[in-house]
Amino acid sequence: MLDFLSSKKPKILVVGDFMVDHYIWCDCTRISPEAPVMVMKSQKEDKRLGGAGNVYANLKSLGAEVFALGLVGDDESGRFLKENLNAKLLVEKGRKTPLKSRILSHSQQVLRLDDENDFNTKLEDEIIKEYKKIAKDYDVIILSDYAKGVLTLKVTKALIEHANTLNLPILIDPKGSDFSKYQNATLLTPNKKEAIQALGVEKIDNLEEALKKLKDELNLAYSIITLSEEGIALFDKKIHIIPAKALEVYDVTGAGDSVIAMLAYALALKVDIVKACELANDAAAVVVAKVGSVSVSLEEIKNLKKASFEDKIKCKEELVKLIQNKKVVFTNGCFDIMHYGHIKYLEKAKKLGDILIVGLNSDESIKRLKGSSRPINLEFQRACMLASMYFVDYVVVFNEDTPYELIEFLKPDVLVKGADYKGKEVVGSNLVKKVELINFEDGFSTTNIVNRIANDK
């Protein structure tokens, strides 16, 4: 399927609210003496296409031929969009092109500043006129509505009506609680919260009924609700739940943009709607594993499908190449019988950096440390169990009694051990920038589990 998609180049028109996403990457080392706030030092910054622009960027990355139609202000952000889009961008007097500045520290967003003055455009007739000139040249149309005043009631209804006249699929990423202006579209992509608001209910008790109600009331070809980590719910003639593929979630920014971009790309090439939703899930899985507004390519989706948790088991020589320019967290142990305490410990360790590497004692080293009756599970089985956890990035087996040589070779930034090491020397502590001690969950240990099983016999 992906080979077929990559051999085509659909033409897609994106209309909506184009913005600029501004990222300022900072380092934080202390708290201000003036107030309880972080003192940030700027390391780098960049600007990216945001809003409808991120939908455009995703389509370009997938390989589509894309054109943009929208509004900008006579400002720096507007000029940035004009320079980076193949587009017809009308300039409206008094309008600020939306600029969203995000300040990040250690890949975590700590603040967002919005500079905008969104209002319903007075250029409705001009937008409709430009749209009618070019819509016939495209395979699919996307309306990306961020409620910044471009897709007014009049504009939205006119664009949908003209698409239906041309028999073109028109896909909409909706905003607000009133979806009536989207009536007669091919499909909408609301998330669960947006769907609840549009349906006027406190919660969705029956997903099939909710999907069918949206489909019937808005006269949609397909009814969709995106379910975040649960995937996508689709209703055509019956309900389909397409489960999510994401294993690692770093940032959900732009996930909805990647979903509608992939749906449009697939439907433009006459892909079945269920398969299109599966591909959209794959696209979202790639995007949420990155930071910020980013795009997805067909190659990345191919790699996602090929990926296996066994691929996370590496030798130390492979790891050195994979962890460059990342904040690396390292911990180690036998992890013989995995339990809840291990899971919470590793989950906390992951939050201390970009990459979590688990050094795993080999079978030989465990026998030397714990006796001939251990380990219970062989090293490959133990490595696979660790690698199957989304918060573990890599597993590396070491044969020595301690991980000192491995730590010296990998040079991680943070070394993590259990809180029971407080006041004790941590092997490798002289080789790293920081040692973090994490509290164990009470009542969980492999030894206790082994003893309970033995006593039950």
Show which residues are catalytic. 257
Q: Which residue has the tokens 């054109």?
A: 67
Give the residue among 370, 342, 445, 359 at the shortest CA–CA distance from 402: 359
Strand partners, 333: 360
How far is C-alpha 239 from the geometric centre of its chain's CA atoms? 25
HEC per residue, the chain: CHHHHHCCCCEEEEEECEEEEEEEEEEEEEECCCCCCEEEEEEEEEEEEEEHHHHHHHHHHHCCEEEEEEEECCCHHHHHHHHHCCEEEEECCCCCCCEEEEEEECCEEEEEEEECCCCCCCCHHHHHHHHHHHHHHCCEEEEECCCCCCCCHHHHHHHHHHHHHCCCCEEEECCCCCCHHHCCCCEECCEHHHHHHHHCCCCCCCHHHHHHHHHHHHCCCCEEEECHHHCEEEECCCEEEECCCCCCCCCCCCHHHHHHHHHHHHHHCCCCHHHHHHHHHHHHHHHHCCCCCCCCCHHHHHHHHHCCHHHHECCHHHHHHHCCCCCEEEEEECCCCCCHHHHHHHHHHHCCCCEEEEEEECHHHHHHHHCCCCCCCCHHHHHHHHHCCCCCCEEEEECCCCCHHHHHHHCCCEEEEEHHHCCCCCCCHHHCCEEEEECCCCCCCHHHHHHHHHHHC
- Cα 101 to Cα 33, 44, 263, 295: the distances in Å are 25, 13, 28, 18
Say whether 194 counts as a known binding-site residue: yes
Task: Please say whether the beta carbons of 156 and 180 come within 8 A.
Answer: no
Termini Cα distance of the chain: 53
Say whether 193 counts as a known binding-site residue: yes
Task: Please say whether the beta carbons of 259 and 226 come within 8 A.
Answer: yes
**Count of Cβ atoms closer than 10 Å to residue 75 Cβ:** 15
User: How deeply is 137 buried, as exposed, middle or buried, from its count of CB atoms within 10 A (0-12, 13-18, 19+)?
Assistant: exposed
| Binding site members | 191-194
- Annotated binding-site residues for ATP read 191-194
